[in-house]
Structure 1
C-alpha cells in the first residue's frame, strides 16, 4: 500500500503530518509503495484524479471541493472514517463515517517538548507565506510567526507551547484543538479553502465563526476582494509596483493591529468529551484497518 498525500512547494504542515504520524500509528512495513493500493490520509484528498483501477483506502480524509466529486461507489474506494458530516453528505456516504480529521490521532503519538516563551502564535495558510507579508506583521504585533512550511515537530512544539494560536491554516486549528491549545480561526484569504473548515468543525460540535483578519499586503487584499488567488500577472504587476509600496506597508501595519485585537477575543476549543470520543472512534477505525490488512501480510 502506498502512502498518498498532497506534497506542495513549500511543504504544508497539515499534509506533511502524513509522513510522520502514520509511521508511529501503523505497524512497520504497512506501506510498501505499491500503487495498486493507495492510503488516503490527512488532507482534503478525496478527489477524482486517482488512477481509476487503484484501490483507495480512506482514513480520516475529507472532500474539499478542490476537484469534482469522485465516484466513491465504483468499487475501488474503502472508507474507514472521514473528516466530517459535510464530506459524507457531499459523497453520499454513511453518516457514521464522519468522525474527525485524522490529525486528531496526534493525541496517540509521542509529542515534542512545548516551545517556550510563546504567548500568541499566528499560522497563515501555506499559500499566504509567498503571497502575504505575515512574518513582518507578526513582528510588529509581538506575535510568534508559526511557519506551516517548517518541520512538523517544530510547528507542533510551537502550538503546544502557545497560550493561543490564531490561524488561517485549517490544520493549525485542528492540531491546536487536538492538543488542547485554544485557537481562533480567521477567514481564509481565498474562498476555496473555507468549505473544509465547516466539515471538520461540525464533526466536533464546534461553533465555528471565522473572524476577519486584515490582509497583510495588496496581493492578499486582491485575493480577499475578488475570490482569486492573487497570483495573476496583472494583479502581481499592480500589487508589487513601486507606487504600491506605501499601500503595502500600510496593509502590513493594519494586519499587525488586527492580530493584536484578535489576541483579546474569546478563542475556540472543542469540549474534552467530544475530543476524547472522536479520538477513541478514530483509533478503533485504525485498529480495524490494521486487522483487515494483517490477515494477508506479515508486519514487523
Structure 2
C-alpha cells in the first residue's frame, strides 16, 4: 500500500505525519497490496485530490473542502472509518463510523512518551498564518513559545507534547495537544479557518469548537487571507513558496519567509501587530479545554478495532 497525503509546498505537520504514522499503526503495510492507496490523516475526501481508477482504503480521513468524490463503487472504495460524525453524514455512513482523527494515535508512539515539559505556553498557528505573520515576534512579546506548523512533523509534535498549555489555530495542533493531555484554547485569525473539520473532530472527543478571535498580525497576512488590517480590507492572494508579495503599485511588502528588515521597520511592524499581541495574551488567560480521559480512551479503542479489521482483511 502507498500512503496518500496532501503535500503543502510550505510544509504542514498535520499532513506530513502520514509519512511515518502508518508504519507504526499498520507495520508492513507498504509490503502488501501495492495497488491500494491508504487514505489517512487529513481533509482529503475531495474529488479534486484523490485519483480515479485506484482502490482506496479510507481510515480516518475527513471532508471539508471542495466536493466529495463518488464513493459508491465498492471495488474502488473501502471506507473503514472517517474522522468524525459530520464527515460520516456527508458521505452516507452511520455516525458511529466517524470515530476520530488518526493523529490522536501519535501519542502512543514510544518516542513521544514521557517527554519533559519545556514550554509553559505555546502558540501554533495555521500554516497559512505562519507564512507571513509576525507570530514569532508576537509570541516573544507575550512570553510564549512559537511552534511553526511548517516544521519537520516529529519536531513540531515534540514541541506540542513538551508544552504545558497550547493556543492553537492549527486544528492538528489542538488534536495533538488533546492527545498528549495538554490543555488547549482554539483561536482563529480569519474566516478562512474551516469550522466544519474542527467540529467534525471535536464531536468525537466531546469538546466544543469555540475559537477566540485574534486579529491578523501583518498587512501581508491580511492580503493572503483576504482579511482586514487596521481598517483596510484586502482581496485574498496566493503566495507561492519563497515568493514575494507585492502591493497594488508593485512594492515588495515582505517575502513569504522572513526577510531582512531594518530595526525601525521591524519596530513599526511590532506596533501594528499590537492588537494581535493583546488578543494572543488574552487567549493564554482563557479557560482551556481538554477531552475526558475516558472519552479519548474509548475513541482510541474503537480506532484500534478498525485497524484490527483492516489487518484481518489485508494482511
1:215 aligns with 2:236: no
Q: SS of the counterpart of 1:268?
A: coil
The answer (yes or no) to whether the contact 2:220–2:253 under 8 Å persists in 1 is no
Can you give the 5+ residue segments of structure 2 that lack an aligned partner in the other structure?
255-264
Q: What is residue 155 of structure 2 aligned with on the other side?
A: 154
Structure 1 range deviating more: 251-260 or 282-291: 251-260
Deviation, structure 1 residue 43: 0.5
1:237 aligns with 2:247: yes
Q: SS of the counterpart of 1:47?
A: coil
Deviation, structure 1 residue 171: 0.2
* Count of residue correspondences: 291
The answer (yes or no) to whether the contact 2:100–2:303 under 8 Å persists in 1 is yes
What's the RMSD between the two structures over aligned residues? 2.6
Q: What is residue 262 of structure 1 aligned with on the other side?
A: 283
1:287 aligns with 2:287: no
The answer (yes or no) to whether the contact 1:140–1:253 under 8 Å persists in 2 is no
Q: 1:115 to 1:256 in 2, by over 3 A?
A: farther
Q: Distance in 2 between matches of 1:31 and 1:180?
A: 31
Structure 1 range deviating more: 86-95 or 111-120: 111-120
Q: What is residue 141 of structure 1 aligned with on the other side?
A: 142
Q: What is residue 260 of structure 2 aligned with on the other side?
A: none
Q: SS of the counterpart of 2:11?
A: coil
TM-score, normalized by length of structure 1? Answer: 0.88
Q: Deviations over 1:145-188 (max 9, x none)?
A: 01112222222221122111001110000010111100111125
Q: Distance in 2 between matches of 1:36 and 1:251?
A: 53
Q: SS of the counterpart of 2:3?
A: strand
Q: What is residue 18 of structure 2 aligned with on the other side?
A: 18
Q: What is residue 70 of structure 2 aligned with on the other side?
A: 71
Q: Distance in 2 between matches of 1:204 and 1:227?
A: 37
The answer (yes or no) to whether the contact 2:39–2:58 under 8 Å persists in 1 is yes
Q: Deviations over 1:217-275 (max 9, x none)?
A: 12334523479644479x84159659x98874333232222211111110111111110
Q: What is residue 53 of structure 1 aligned with on the other side?
A: 53
Q: Distance in 1 between matches of 2:283 and 2:147?
A: 16
TM-score, normalized by length of structure 2? Answer: 0.84
More helix by share: 1
Q: Distance in 2 between matches of 1:255 and 1:247?
A: 14
Q: What is residue 36 of structure 1 aligned with on the other side?
A: 35
Q: SS of the counterpart of 1:191?
A: coil
Q: Distance in 2 between matches of 1:197 and 1:229?
A: 22
Can you give the 5+ residue segments of structure 1 that lack an aligned partner in the other structure?
295-300
Q: Distance in 1 between matches of 2:202 and 2:237?
A: 27
Q: Distance in 1 between matches of 2:274 and 2:115?
A: 29
